[in-house]
Structure 1
Amino acid sequence: MKSILTIAALTTTVLAGVASATTVNTTYQTSGNPFGTDNLRQVVRVQSPELTTNVYAGLYQMTGDNGFGNFAAFCVDLAEWLHDPVTYTTQPRLFGAAVRDNVAKLYNSVLGGSTVADVIDTSLEAAGFQVALWEIVTETGSSLDVSDGAFSVSQNSGVANMAQFYLDNMGTAATDGYEITFLYNDGYQDLVTVSPVPVPAAGLFLLTGFGGLAFLRRRKKA
């Protein structure tokens, strides 16, 4: 069963009249291994209201229909397990606003406008980012500390330190640099995936204008 927080969030979504969710049929990119050929994962011991055990923390390499194609994803649900294949529905408001904002800040501060594949390319980075996400979506206290509280990790100090580094550097990061998609299934592990928000056409036009002005200045000096 999902956590009370998740159920409440879904109820709020229904009551708010959010548009119908999109259905996505997913599989692993590499048969039998959700972490793909690069195997970006490390073992950590997690303690949370849903689970206390050793688990893999890392970056999932998935593929989906309905326009998804190959995509990178992280887990946002410690209550259940991943499966192949799984049919998900997109849930923009799977969590409350504060959690969604912190998820957005984490992606913005770590990726800085780049893609997940461009930035997270080691098992330590992948596992650290995953643990940071678990802290954000699971912690019920006021501070984001992977060593204490409702959610904590142990037995892998490197991953714990990387996760805490990511969390400590979120600061006042933007919340609008990425399109964030939560994938929900009542019986299996829920996921999150992102893509950079493209610069609007007006912004591209403005950048082009600035480039033209710089070119004219150089010609005038010449």
Structure 2
Amino acid sequence: MFKPLALAAALLVSAPVFAGSIQIKYQGKDADAVSLSTTVTTNYGTAGLSFLDSVSGSFLAYSLEPTQQIALKSKGDKTYAVDSFTGSQATLLQGLYSSSFASVNSAKQQAAFQLAIWEIATETSGTLSITEGSGSFYLKTSGQPASLNAVQALATNYLKAAQTYSGSELYSLTKLTNPTYQDLIVASALPVVTPNIGTSLPVPEPETYALFLGGLGVIGLLARRRLPR
């Protein structure tokens, strides 16, 4: 299991202007990661990814590029450039995270959330759908276990929520890029401003925690997950 981390409220900062690069090391993914096949992957263990920043510890990220490989733990630290999202992609990813990220816990939820991110990041048809045969990216369900239907339904709901979200931005989203390995997305909880009360932290789900992501000066959200032994 990922070790639970106390909410690092004292380390929360206003979203800075990100610049430069960061050294991080891949640690693994949930041992129960759901094996999925899409238009660009085959039997791929799909889940949130655990990375280690040598300054501050572990943090959770999701992949942006299913066609790229992950820098395995044995390859050591890798340098990622710090970037941001723009345009409609930024809007949709913010809608996805603000509407659904706090409720993502189980292996199926992680897989569905990752599918939704890939759809937003890679779809070229202009229509967001992971139903088999739709657009340039989708989940292949033909001949696969019926349990994948639940993952597909979850991902579809996440995408709908992302497109219809109209509330406040709850996260600062950072893009970590590398020319050889999968680009990543990392979420940082933003302060919540309540009229007549002031600024406070978003209240996390029971198994959702925040920690300081060194080098970036942001909070990385880390849920309790199991790593392969």
TM-score (norm 2): 0.67
Give a deviation string over 1:129-188, Cα, whole Å, max 9, x none: 000101111111222110111100123322111111111222133462201111100011
Task: Tell me: CA distance 1:176–1:151, structure 2 relative to 1, closer, same or farther (3 Å).
Answer: same
Mapped partners of 1:99, 1:186: distance in 2: 20
State yes or no: 1:132 paired with 2:116: yes
User: Which ranges of structure 1 fall in alignment gaps of 5 or more residues?
Assistant: 1-18, 209-222
| Greater relative CO, 1 or 2 (CA 8 Å, sep 6+) | 2
The answer to which structure has the higher helix fraction is 1
Mapped partners of 2:37, 2:175: distance in 1: 24
Give the letter for the 1:75 counterpart: S
The answer to which structure has the higher strand fraction is 2
Among 105, 117, 138, which residue is 1:152 paired with? 138
Give the number of the structure whose alpha-carbon radius of gyration is greater. 1
- For the 8 Å contact 1:89–1:184, the answer to whether it is kept is yes
Among 73, 76, 81, which residue is 2:61 paired with? 73
Alignment of 1:17-96 (within 5 A): 21-29=19-27, 34-35=28-29, 38-47=30-39, 51-65=40-54, 69-83=57-71, 84=73, 85=76, 86-93=78-85, 96=86
Task: Tell me: CA distance 1:66–1:89, structure 2 relative to 1, closer, same or farther (3 Å).
Answer: farther
Alignment of 1:107-146 (within 5 A): 107-111=97-101, 114=102, 119-146=103-130
Task: Tell me: CA distance 1:42–1:64, structure 2 relative to 1, closer, same or farther (3 Å).
Answer: same
State yes or no: 1:186 paired with 2:179: yes
Give secondary structure in 2 for the equivalent of 1:53.
coil
TM-score (norm 1): 0.69
Count of aligned pairs:
169
Give secondary structure in 2 for the equivalent of 1:154.
coil
CA RMSD of aligned residues (A): 2.2
Task: Tell me: CA distance 1:20–1:121, structure 2 relative to 1, closer, same or farther (3 Å).
Answer: closer
Mapped partners of 2:79, 2:114: distance in 1: 22
- For the 8 Å contact 1:24–1:66, the answer to whether it is kept is no
User: Which ranges of structure 2 fall in alignment gaps of 5 or more residues?
Assistant: 1-16, 142-147, 199-229
**Consecutive aligned runs of 4 or more in structure 1 exceeding 6 Å deviation:** none
- For the 8 Å contact 2:24–2:52, the answer to whether it is kept is yes
The percent of aligned pairs where both chains have the same amino acid is 25
- For the 8 Å contact 2:41–2:67, the answer to whether it is kept is no
